[in-house]
Amino acid sequence: MDGCQDRLKIEMSEFNQLLNIVSIIFGLPWSIIILYCLVRLALWKPEIKDYNYVPKTSVVVAAWKEGKRLVDTINSLLKQDYPKGKIKLIVVGGGDEETINICRKFKKEGKIKFIEERTRGGKWKALNTGVELSDGEIIAFTDADCIVSRQWLRKLNANLKSKDVYGVVGNVISTGKGYINKAMDALFPIFTIFPMFVNAPFFCGQSSAFKYKVFKKIKFRDSIVEDLLLTFEMRTAKMKMLFEKDAITIHRYPLTTSGFVNAAMRLYVGAY
């Protein structure tokens, strides 16, 4: 009996040693990252924002088979707390009659510029088309399944007056309905805020604004992660980007697994 207990103690000791080794191997990189973040936080100085800075801005939305939910997206952009003569809405897309008819109606009312697509070319291509038609000092982006807050654009652009800043990314939250939306709320800091903080590429398609001159050097690439590649090239070119927590965008993620999978599949086959 005593021999069994001694044997168990030895095995438990060896197991604890193994756990310690694993903790060191996997914990060390995270410890370095956390230490790096703490040092950066200690040295961080807030950027000067100017909420009266309202340069002429084009907002580009890629919309493929979005249907009636696109109405709420466009309406939220039309309600921006921003001088009407300084904002231009550009929607590039189509895919089905419902989406096309909605965009044609807004175009007829003089509220948007609509570029109709009958064949899908990928979101990256639609965004580049929108950029080419932009004539503002700033080009902003949001997705066709998002709703932006009333001061979204003003909050983003307040960061761009500085000559050293080339881009700004807004804060994205979900509707909070269902497990998919809650999961995406948890992932946003991992895929966007944290990479920004450590000067790594990040996802920004749902809510962002960039100076026009960025696109004189960089274009969206043929990829389902076109926004990630854009920020990678900006990092390589030493273009400074900021995060604006008060520029709120609500992303309406699908409520079901099948809806989420279908949305993902549309990206993988080149649609959006």
| Cβ atoms within 10 Å, residue 125 | 18
161-186 pLDDT, tens digit per residue, is 999 999 999 998 877 777 777 777 77
Task: For residue 27, give both structure tokens.
Answer: 């914990």
Contact of 196 with 270, CB cutoff 8 Å: no
Long-range contacts from 215-219, C-beta under 8 angstroms, 24+ separation: 215/131, 215/139, 219/128, 219/131
- At residue 271, the pLDDT reads 46
pLDDT over 70 at 31, yes or no: no
pTM: 0.79
d(CA 37, CA 40): 5
pLDDT over 60 at 36, yes or no: no
Radius of gyration of the chain (CA): 23
- At residue 48, the pLDDT reads 76
- At residue 153, the pLDDT reads 97
- At residue 270, the pLDDT reads 45
210-260 pLDDT, tens digit per residue, is 999 999 999 999 888 898 899 899 999 999 999 999 999 998 876 677 666
| Cβ atoms within 10 Å, residue 203 | 20
Helix (H, G, I), strand (E, B) or coil at 191: helix
Reported confidence tier of residue 8, pLDDT bands at 50, 70, 90 = very low
125-161 pLDDT, tens digit per residue, is 999 999 999 998 999 999 999 999 999 999 999 999 9
- At residue 272, the pLDDT reads 47
Contact of 71 with 61, CB cutoff 8 Å: no
Q: What percent of the chain has pLDDT over 70?
A: 71
- At residue 56, the pLDDT reads 97
75-100 pLDDT, tens digit per residue, is 999 999 999 899 999 999 888 899 99
Task: For residue 243, give both structure tokens.
Answer: 């995060």
Q: Report the range of poorest mean pLDDT among 9-13, 249-253, 258-262, 268-272.
A: 268-272
